[in-house]
Structure 1
């Protein structure tokens, strides 16, 4: 599809509308049929509505034309969005509703009185320019709210190419901003990107056969064929790149609008902006970093990074024209970089929220390829994991922003920030991205001029940036083997502190849910144990593993349940006389209340002459009925509640469940890892199956990766330690049969 095809499609619709107006006996004066919105701009997609308005002068009654004009259009099968309004009603509607005002910005005459259409257009434009300063803040809020609800075209999993940030709606808003005469939003990139997105929408409508602007995952592959691209990923990157460019132009223009609105209205006409020197060769003018009057970028290879750092630290615009000139005129940075260049990069990365718009300008002007050519590896690369809200490159920048808030917790902030920048640089390779990224990060850090120790630290952090999170959330942090697995790869106190901060920054940047209270607690707990081990100190005590007070009722054979709520969910502590299957019964109680189990720990505690089973559960819901939790364990143990019939067994969809014995994960227990679809009741199914083999589950650790659950169970013989090879195989077989629903 091309602009010429849209022109042909629009011309055919225009002819249809004119014929309908003539057939309805529309007059030549006082009444006009006009096109609005995308139809007014001549941008009809194959499934677009015809957005038309029958306008009449206030003292003219359109009569039967107001009804008859639509019938030929309906009969033609056209999709129609129509209305009848007087001239004053049009202006009032535009005054009261910004969405209406935007739709009427591109009114185009179709039939009837051309002078009426001209008056309407003139009235709309004059009102827009006259009221721009008063109405632009409301428009900005409207745009921001839409962005918040829909997300960014460059990043959301199912993008809306019209309403998302960086979509066609934003391109229309930019044209509206330019119509106010307050800012200049025009650029070759804007029109090129807009036309490319219109071309894509035409292909999308042809592919799905309906007027939707949302791109479902399954249509990327056929759209790639229509675009002449290699595969679905290439099609995604093509469209998301357009969205990024339009987002950048939109943010830049709104920053300029803010600057204009912040300045008093001049009655003497425009004045040449003053230049405020802020760094060698760099000045500030009207909220933008530009070149100073006598700057010599041809003699200064660091000027680009210096300008970027100044703009980001001050949270102002790096003027794209300035960045483009610096790309053209600055000599290339020598290898290794001078200290000033490295310091400027670190300052840029440490600038917090000011980093994103400046980094986008560096991307759009081609500046990144000059000092970080490896960035092209991850530019607009979609994430394979559903927990990520951004593409890989944007996620990296968000990680740097998060890391900038943690630099006071580490001795080497520069290492933390550069590791954050490079932690996913290996994405897109066939090998594990952390493995692929390590040598790339080492080469980049060396080129940047870091000393050998810093280079080793950066490479180590890139190689193991997932390690702390993976171990803490999927293994027992109190098992010596868990700590050994961590310290075997990251053993120094400095490296551990850096890894802890990088893990938090990476998780927070992935999605709000990726750094939950529970996850943070597990990671901090393992980090404390690791720091203590490195320092030669005893492991710190933990509330989940210390002895608890045992009520007399439990000593007499009863059950005690305590619920402690917090912001991230709840901790449920269950006490009862110890026996095999106690953890399974507790799991059944929680599953019957639809609680999302995050982790469980079980141990025996001696209380007088009674061995008490203590299980501590971390669950995702805080709104639990404590009375029901106290009553049901007894009902289940006495057989009054049959958990097997009350709980629906999960039936695997897609990939079959995988049950693996992790022989090296613990010396005190046998570790079973269960990977399957995330369904309620999985912990009960596993614990129940193991209890029937007279096996004891001492802890369970539940992680959810998108739609998949990764559950890890530490299993022991009733009165012994780890299972024999034969018993471990039997346990794995029983668990797999249970989660498949093939056993009673």
Structure 2
């Protein structure tokens, strides 16, 4: 270990923060103290006044030191100057002060070469600030840095765009992360730095006031986070929100989260807008001169396209044309271009209120906007930031920046709603009423944020909004029904047996027309796709569509006066060589996992044996169905795993059947849970079987343990339906007596009690 490393290691544990109150003034004072420290160290090291300079770069160069920030410094010198003696003495006083250094020594030529070869170095040098030594050298270097950045901007900005996108994909969005990163996430402080670099190219400009206010507020939050954590960190841990609420004056932790997420949204909106303008500039050919005024292309009454942005015609009068704002927004979204922020601000400021009910043109423009696809995202963000959404849809305030309670969701509620509209826009050709679908997508989660179940709370709000925007009474009923039952198909298909007549009847009682059912299928898909990739797997899609087909058949039969159609029993080809005690296994790959089919002569416990073998391999089971086919027991297992070896699985099942492998202890370890399980009998769910609903931590092996317990009670599992809601598994088992038929009330209670006891024995203590 060298002397420098020994100094750094010995002081790391007692390094004090750069003290100061958490405010812009104290950040400046904190930086002034650091500047004085660096200048004194340079002087004490005998640093010359000519040919060498100590400069600050990065966040220190911007005077944005947080309580535990590093000091990013560069000792730069002319090529004919040897700075070794100064460098040898310079760093020790800074280490001894407790400051954490990120430092380098380079000549001006080396600095230029480093900036030319490394984009991150170039960005850091854009914030270069003189600390000590030769101020003329600093000025020369700074002048060169900016001149070179502007000269090479067109060549370097595509790389900066790729780096920015990669960071966003890796870290996520500040407005939606459960543990937000104030610096690296999309809409974070790093994006504010990138925006400053974009402005320095002289190719684009930004809304400086809005950006500076949001950036300073986010810097204040980071200062609080440092102070609360007692160390340098950019991530806001869940336990920090209460402290942030107290320090920022927010009402509570939720209000503090909303404040931080709103700052991220503002920076992200400015960033998206600016990058669109950069893309437009880069797409243009270089010409010596450009027309001073861009050509206007009229695209709708009062609306024009200019330089890749939607603006207003000179003759437009928002105060006399209340539909103009929706017309302009729809044009921008459909063309996937910017709704110029200045235009949106003017529309928000000058537009007349729409009459109630809205005229047909306004409603059609809203539907066009919602169905425009990916172009909706940036346009809706602009409408939000300028206050247009608040005027058109006051109810939006209920869900703006509202976090989702379910871990399966990747966005806040409001962003999820916009993503649902985008997904629904791709499905409008599948339904007879695209307008109803799009408005239902916009309003499906409007009831969230209260104590009442959100689909119940949302229905009257949706009906009120649908009436206000001009839908007829029957259309209002459609929107209301879709909002009320938007979870019906997904929840029923994944937790109930779609082939059980009671399941279909339960859906058909609530969804009474084929038109509503068609719209609900599309809304269910859009809602799931917008939540996360896992929420609309091939398996879930198949279950929902199968249930919808069954329900449609029932509705059509009712309309014609016929009895409900009989669904034929499922059949699979039976292996010719199945012998007593032998379980034949086949594995087939599906789009997002595998399907395992097991066939054996019917006997007690065969389903439990297959489930145990899957659990031993730690295969996550998403769903299972079992039935008798002639004298054979057939089970089909939907799994999330791929590459399952049928031969290995067959061998493990045989070892379990023959007693050579006892998987119970291994499965019990896998199933260990943090929370007590819930096991409930659902008598209303079926007339031909008894339904047990098991809720516990999502772990491989739960299905195996439940099946084994029921087999020991001489209870047959007809089918199992597995659904994951964040960290919790909801597993539903349709069970019957060995002789077929639902369990008696006493037997059902006994089965539930035994399953509960077995699972409770795995709860961590």
- Which residue of the other structure, out of 694, 699, 704, is the alignment partner of 1:684? 704
Whole-Å Cα distance in 2 between the matches of residues 632 and 577 of structure 1? 18
Q: State whether structure 2 residue 105 is matched by structure 1 residue 84.
A: yes
Aligned to 2:748: 728
Whole-Å Cα distance in 2 between the matches of residues 714 and 595 of structure 1? 21
Shift of 1:648: 2.9
- Which residue of the other structure, out of 659, 663, 675, is the alignment partner of 2:679? 659
Whole-Å Cα distance in 2 between the matches of residues 486 and 244 of structure 1? 39
Q: Is the partner of 1:70 in helix, strand or coil? A: helix
Question: Cα deviation per residue 1:306-344 (whole Å; 9 max; x = unaligned)?
Answer: 000011111111011111111222210000000000000
Shift of 1:731: 0.4
Distance 1:632 1:263, change over 3 A: closer
Whole-Å Cα distance in 2 between the matches of residues 547 and 349 of structure 1? 44
Q: Is the partner of 1:153 in helix, strand or coil? A: coil
Listed as ranges, the matches of 1:11-160 within 5 Å are: 11-160=32-181
Contact 2:538-2:591 within 8 A present in 1 as well: yes
Aligned to 1:457: 478
- Which residue of the other structure, out of 220, 224, 228, is the alignment partner of 1:207? 228
Contact 2:671-2:702 within 8 A present in 1 as well: no
Whole-Å Cα distance in 1 between the matches of residues 85 and 201 of structure 2? 38
Distance 1:449 1:186, change over 3 A: closer
Gaps of at least 5 residues in structure 2 are 1-21
Shift of 1:634: 2.5
Contact 1:652-1:676 within 8 A present in 2 as well: no
- Which residue of the other structure, out of 462, 469, 473, is the alignment partner of 1:448? 469
Q: State whether structure 2 residue 354 is matched by structure 1 residue 336.
A: no
Aligned to 2:322: 301
Shift of 1:263: 2.3
Aligned to 1:561: 585
Question: Cα deviation per residue 1:237-295 (whole Å; 9 max; x = unaligned)?
Answer: 10000000100000101111112222233423551111111111111111111110211
Contact 1:650-1:740 within 8 A present in 2 as well: no
Whole-Å Cα distance in 1 between the matches of residues 182 and 95 of structure 2? 27
Q: State whether structure 2 residue 552 is matched by structure 1 residue 528.
A: no
Contact 2:677-2:695 within 8 A present in 1 as well: yes
Equivalent pairs counted in the alignment come to 737
Q: State whether structure 2 residue 372 is matched by structure 1 residue 348.
A: no
- Which residue of the other structure, out of 671, 675, 679, is the alignment partner of 2:695? 675
Whole-Å Cα distance in 1 between the matches of residues 325 and 723 of structure 2? 44
Shift of 1:556: 4.9
Shift of 1:140: 1.1
Shift of 1:70: 0.3
Contact 1:650-1:739 within 8 A present in 2 as well: no
Question: Cα deviation per residue 1:441-484 (whole Å; 9 max; x = unaligned)?
Answer: 00000000001111000000001100100000010010001101
Shift of 1:549: 2.8
Listed as ranges, the matches of 1:261-300 within 5 Å are: 261-268=282-289, 271-300=292-321
Contact 2:182-2:189 within 8 A present in 1 as well: yes
Whole-Å Cα distance in 1 between the matches of residues 431 and 506 of structure 2? 23
Q: Is the partner of 2:479 in helix, strand or coil? A: helix
Aligned to 1:575: 599
Whole-Å Cα distance in 2 between the matches of residues 379 and 325 of structure 1? 23
Contact 2:671-2:701 within 8 A present in 1 as well: no
Q: Is the partner of 1:273 in helix, strand or coil? A: coil
Q: Is the partner of 1:576 in helix, strand or coil? A: strand
Aligned to 2:404: 383
Aligned to 1:612: 632
Whole-Å Cα distance in 2 between the matches of residues 515 and 501 of structure 1? 12
Shift of 1:110: 0.5
Whole-Å Cα distance in 2 between the matches of residues 632 and 63 of structure 1? 69
Whole-Å Cα distance in 1 between the matches of residues 31 and 678 of structure 2? 56
Whole-Å Cα distance in 2 between the matches of residues 742 and 262 of structure 1? 61
- The farther-off stretch of 404-413 and 689-698 is 689-698
Aligned to 2:4: none
Whole-Å Cα distance in 2 between the matches of residues 541 and 210 of structure 1? 64
Distance 1:557 1:269, change over 3 A: closer
- Which residue of the other structure, out of 640, 644, 662, is the alignment partner of 1:642? 662
Whole-Å Cα distance in 2 between the matches of residues 655 and 551 of structure 1? 42
Whole-Å Cα distance in 1 between the matches of residues 595 and 743 of structure 2? 29
Q: State whether structure 2 residue 704 is matched by structure 1 residue 704.
A: no
Shift of 1:652: 5.3
Whole-Å Cα distance in 2 between the matches of residues 612 and 59 of structure 1? 90
Shift of 1:655: 2.9
Aligned to 1:739: 759
Contact 1:529-1:540 within 8 A present in 2 as well: no
Gaps of at least 5 residues in structure 1 are none
Whole-Å Cα distance in 1 between the matches of residues 599 and 329 of structure 2? 59
Contact 1:649-1:739 within 8 A present in 2 as well: no
